[in-house]
Amino acid sequence: MNGIPVEKGPELDVAVSSRVRLARNFADIPFSAKMTPKHQAALVKRMQSIISEYSNYGKLMFADMTSMHPVDRVSLMERHLISPELAESKGNSGAFINENENVSIMVNEEDHIRIQAIFSGILLEKAYRVCDEIDSIIAEKADYAFDNKYGYLTSCPTNIGSGMRASVMLHLPALVMSGFMKSILESCTKLGVAVRGIYGENSEAVGDMFQVSNQITLGRKDDETIAAIDAICKQIIDREKALRYQLYKQNIYIFEDRIFRSYGLLGNARVLSTQECFKLLSDVRLGVSMGIIKDINILALNEMLVLSQPASLQKIAGKQLNQEERDVKRAELIRMKIQKLENN
């Protein structure tokens, strides 16, 4: 899946993807801050033996950070398969990833393991069920660090309890255009829900992409948290959708002009910065989701969003590229993708 979903999930016109991750540590191994290289190696070995026979979501292959080129690491990060911390990790660490790239288990990140599932659209429950199943498989083979009062113990106190983070990536161009994002950020914070821009700064997220996730892990049942995030996201989605048509009706020509200009630039530019690329992709995504642009499908746009990031570009080019070279390669890649879609 890799943030490049291959099937359309529900509410995909606003909800790009849903992700759940569980942070877990084992009772018989010191927590990461106190781990020796030996402990790390033993943990990788343990996970390999537990995971090797598990293939409910396809075989999970180990991506070993120790031997991986930095560009490949960052590319995994850009595809949301590993965290930025793991990509920069110096120790013996890695991630088990399935072929569809919608399940990954990081090993030796901040916690011993982090189990993650990601799906297109708003599908938190499904993502949770996958994580929960893997969690049970592992729990059968080894004891987690668990406290009867607090729940799962984690390296960072913010994760103690459920160890769960449920997050949805939302595309909210109309809320940004109308200036409503600020009030949404405020109300969500009051409800213990974090909303942050995925690319760029908080309230002016590049590409109008936001991640909505739970801040609280302590004293809440998993299904309550999932239901709460799901409900808040659906409210935001409804508001975004209503606003889109309101803005559209206010001045159809101006609205379509913005969308088609971005489309024209994406398909023709020879130099594209990440920032501009995300901005243009956002407009085009809006146009596609409203049926204004018909040649392009929304999954292809998600793919472009991922592939236009620095490491992914360098992987495609097969070599290191400086910023100027990346801007040219990005423009070329996006242009080719759009031409291909138009010709189909």
> Do residues 96 and 105 touch, judged by C-beta distance below 8 A?
yes
- CB neighbours of residue 216 within 10 Å: 16
The one among 119, 128, 210, 263 contacting a copy of itself by CB under 8 A: 263
Backbone angles phi, psi at 211, to 5 degrees: -110, 125
Q: State the number of binding residues for a copy of itself (CB under 8 A).
A: 18
Q: Which is closer to a copy of itself, CB of 137 or CB of 328? A: 328
Which residues carry a binding-site annotation? 17-21, 80, 114, 165-169, 196-201
Q: Is 269 in the site for a copy of itself (CB under 8 A)?
A: yes
Residues tagged in the binding site annotation for ATP: 17-21, 80, 114, 165-169, 196-201
The closest of 199, 175, 177, 200 to 188, measured between CA atoms, is 175
Query: Which helix (H) or strand (E) is 65 found in, with range?
Result: none
Contact between 260 and a copy of itself by CB under 8 A: the answer reads yes
328 binds a copy of itself (CB under 8 A): yes
What gap in Å lies between CA 61 and CA 104, rounded to an integer? 9
Please tell me whether residue 194 binds a copy of itself under the rule CB under 8 A. Answer: no
Query: Between 47 and 333, whose beta carbon lies closer to a copy of itself?
Result: 333
Nearer to a copy of itself, 197 or 267 (CB): 267
Residue 267 makes contact with a copy of itself by CB under 8 A: yes
DSSP string, 189-239: HHTTEEEEESSB-STTBGGGEEEEEE---SS--HHHHHHHHHHHHHHHHHH
Question: Residue 214 is encoded by which pair of tokens?
Answer: 């739970």
The smaller minimum CB distance to a copy of itself, of residues 29 and 290, is found at 290
- Residue 294 is a binding residue for a copy of itself (CB under 8 A): no
CA-nearest of 100, 121, 117 to 16 is 121
Q: How far is the CB of 243 from a copy of itself (least distance, A)?
A: 20
Least distance in Å: CB of 262 to a copy of itself?
9
Q: How far apart are CA 282 and CA 303, in angstroms?
A: 13
Smallest separation (angstroms) from a copy of itself to the CB of 252: 8
Q: Per rule CB under 8 A, is residue 268 in the interface with a copy of itself?
A: yes
Report, in Å, the least distance between residue 338 CB and a copy of itself: 10
Q: Does 264 participate in binding a copy of itself (rule CB under 8 A)? A: yes
| Identity of residue 305 | L
The tokens for 298 are 């929304």
Which residue from 45, 59, 182, 261 is in contact with a copy of itself, where contact means CB under 8 A?
A: 261
Q: Give counts: helices (H), strands (E), the chain.
A: 12, 10
Among residue numbers 134 through 153, which ones bind a copy of itself (CB under 8 A)? none
Beta strands in the chain (DSSP E): 15-24, 61-64, 94-97, 103-107, 113-120, 146-147, 151-152, 164-171, 193-197, 209-214
- Among 37, 253, 294, 318, which residue sits at the site for a copy of itself (rule: CB under 8 A)? 253
Give the residues lining the site for a copy of itself (CB under 8 A): 253-254, 256-257, 260-261, 263-271, 324, 328, 331
